[in-house]
Structure 1
Amino acid sequence: MLVKTKGFGEIDLNEDKIITFDNGIMGFEDYKKYTILYNIENESEKGNTISWLQSIEEPALALPVINPLLVKEDYNPTVNDDVLKPLGELTDDNLLVLLSITVPSDLEKMTANLKAPFIINSDSKKACQIIVENQDYEVKYPIYETIKKLKEKKGE
């Protein structure tokens, strides 16, 4: 299936790479189908730091996302289990958690949203965005220094 994207041009995507958000994501409730894209040119042996949650239905909608453990090693959100039931059985092997990041023109002000992660079941390809119950998790958690250190470690 050919999918148009703003940042990656037209890509050939296997149907099994499509992730469905039954309720959409916050601010974009009308768009339900997404995939995760990586910038292969920047790929290293340890993988990419930032990837993209790309809408299949809207080429211009691509959100930069990151593994929360890369920016906050002790990230452990408290979630109401009922919210996750529609995703199917979640295990350590099929659970993928991603945080949206904001990249302003001043990169030093880059932040991750610890409060509203994306939860994905990689087996069922079902996903949702939730609001975690942890009061100490910020919507705009600064990550510039952490990303800089990760890139230095990888030699970028």
Structure 2
Amino acid sequence: MHLELGKGVVFLDTQKIQTKYFGETTIDKHELFTFASGLPGFAEETSFVILDLPGNQLFHVLQSVNTPDLAFVITNPHQFYPNYSFELEDHVAQQIDIEQEADTAVAVIVTLKEPFEKSTLNLKAPLILNTRSRLGKQHILQDDTWFVKAPVTTPEMSETEGD
């Protein structure tokens, strides 16, 4: 039997990591996000991956690659606050190499509580992700438009629940 190594085989650049919610899992190194300054309160944590929550399309996990117990539930804020927007200063865009808006994704950290309706979103400090360069930054907004503990259940959601 003759084998041609590499022919028809895709070698992924993978790494096994320990996670807070899923135990050991294998990640694709190309899916990593680098936060050069870390996150506020976690300056030494610079390498993260976004993991899906099985059976849940609203929420994901931002998992530290180096510290298994450091993970945050995150979500797209527009799913709860469709009008969520802010101005991103040029120096922040430069820090994570944003050249065009199409390369940018925004997520916010969720604080989960029981019952779920008491959970909150940190709209004051969004995660800005460059999906092209894989650089990220948690940016603390300077204006008072958005709150650190915005309710997950918005008035608009409450109105549609009765329909």
TM-score normalised by structure 1 residue count: 0.85
Q: Is the 8 A contact 2:80 2:153 kept in 1?
A: no
Where 1:13 maps in the other structure, the secondary structure is: strand
Q: CA RMSD in A?
A: 1.9
Tell whether 2:67 aligns with 1:53. Answer: no
Q: Is the 8 A contact 2:47 2:66 kept in 1?
A: yes
Tell whether 2:18 aligns with 1:4. Answer: yes
Give runs of aligned pairs for residues 4-43 of structure 1, distance below 5 A. Answer: 4-40=18-54, 42-43=55-56
Question: What fraction of aligned residue pairs are identical, expressed as a percent?
Answer: 29
For these two proteins, the number of residue pairs brought into alignment is 145
**Per-residue deviation, 1:79:** 2.6
Q: Take 1:131 and 1:34, find their aligned partners in 2: how far apart are those partners?
A: 19
C-alpha change, 1:75 and 1:143, in structure 2 (3 Å) is: same
Per-residue displacement from partner, 1:52-79 (whole Å, max 9, x unpaired)? 1000010011100010101110011123
Q: Take 1:104 and 1:28, find their aligned partners in 2: how far apart are those partners?
A: 22
Tell whether 2:116 aligns with 1:104. Answer: no
Aligned partner of 2:86: which letter?
A: P
Q: Is the 8 A contact 2:81 2:154 kept in 1?
A: no
C-alpha change, 1:89 and 1:6, in structure 2 (3 Å) is: closer
Where 2:144 maps in the other structure, the secondary structure is: coil
Q: Take 1:106 and 1:59, find their aligned partners in 2: how far apart are those partners?
A: 26
Tell whether 2:87 aligns with 1:73. Answer: no
Where 1:93 maps in the other structure, the secondary structure is: helix
Q: Take 1:27 and 1:94, find their aligned partners in 2: how far apart are those partners?
A: 27
Q: Is the 8 A contact 1:77 1:133 kept in 2?
A: no
Aligned partner of 1:22: which letter?
A: A
2:3 is matched with: none
Q: Is the 8 A contact 2:126 2:138 kept in 1?
A: yes
Q: Take 1:92 and 1:79, find their aligned partners in 2: how far apart are those partners?
A: 11
1:130 is matched with: 139
**Per-residue deviation, 1:38:** 0.5
Determine which structure has greater relative contact order: mean sequence separation of CA pairs < 8 Å that are 6+ residues apart, divided by chain length.
1
Aligned partner of 2:88: which letter?
A: V
Where 1:100 maps in the other structure, the secondary structure is: strand
Greater mean alpha carbon deviation, residues 78-87 or residues 8-17: 78-87
Unaligned 5+ segments in structure 1 are none
- In terms of fraction of residues, the more helix-rich structure is 1
Unaligned 5+ segments in structure 2 are 1-14
Aligned partner of 1:126: which letter?
A: L
